[in-house]
A and B are shown apart, each in its own frame.
Chain A
Amino acid sequence: MKAKIIGVLILVAIVAFVSNQVLVIEKGTEGQYTGVVAFDANASSGSDWQHIAAEISGNAVDINTLDLAELGAGKSVKFKATVEEFTSKANGKRNSITIKPENYSGNYKFTVQLGSIYSGTAIRDVQTVKKFGDFTNQTEWSQYAKALNNQVHENVVAPLGINSEVKGKNVNITGAATATGSEVLITPVEMSFE
């Protein structure tokens, strides 16, 4: 009987204590309590970049060994090529080089995109570090592709300061390649001019 009364008293004390405590959650810190954190594609791609670049380099095959008609949504490739032309559009936001891969004799046209704005989702689509299921929706998955393209610019292309002087030079490229019709588009993860 006595124990029961003490129990009830403790319970009353706990209820009184808890109801006095109001937890104030500052705006923007909800994630610390709910575990739902606003998605940041840039942060996510930044920490994944080294792994993804290494994966693409590791999987890359010589472009001359591929059936280019089978490139589809993307494959990891590597090759040596000669720069045929440097093109700059949209006030320098759309730079690219057309190249001729060494030992290649087919009819495909090869372009390497050099940003600063990049097209497509090839880097995202050839990597396996992250998959669609890791993201909440299509838009986040799409932002992730774009953020990876920004990593390409920051880590691979921008440091080289490429301009029209690269015409005629040899270049070693590793990257993700896609094809539409007879045009191959390469997004580089490693690149060096000789």
Chain B
Amino acid sequence: MNPIMNNRNYLAHHNLSDLDRLFHAVFSDFNTFEPEMMSSSEFGGPSIEFSMTDDAVIATLPMPGCHPANMEIEVVGDWLTVRVKRERAALEKEDARFLRRERSCDDFEETIHVPAKVRGQETTAKYTDGVLTITMPKEVKKPGKHIVTVE
């Protein structure tokens, strides 16, 4: 986890909440009740998480509403860098206005240490349902189990 990135996202969303409060104070008819729920932003914005299988290290990054063409992934040694460009849709109609804007359109960049030696050249990535999944085969496979019988 990159604390700088997380902190930046956290602050970005909290500034928005202030705007929301102002908005609701002006338009009291809204009578909006902010649910005291954990939101995606309270988890610190998007961050890369690792899981391990016997053969590979799998990194997942929730990044909804993006396009694979705007994603850059680099594996250098045992460091993984992910860059994602995000664009905010422009207003198509003149009379349109946002009542609420919580989604971030900040570009994402994170460099993180991979928790095992991996083969960068064989790394694959796919983007499904707004989740980027990067599969990095491990450099050394886990030794197989050998059962030795005692005679």
Do these two chains really belong together in a complex? no
- Which residues of A are in contact with B by a Cβ distance under 8 Å? none
- Which residues of B are in contact with A by a Cβ distance under 8 Å? none
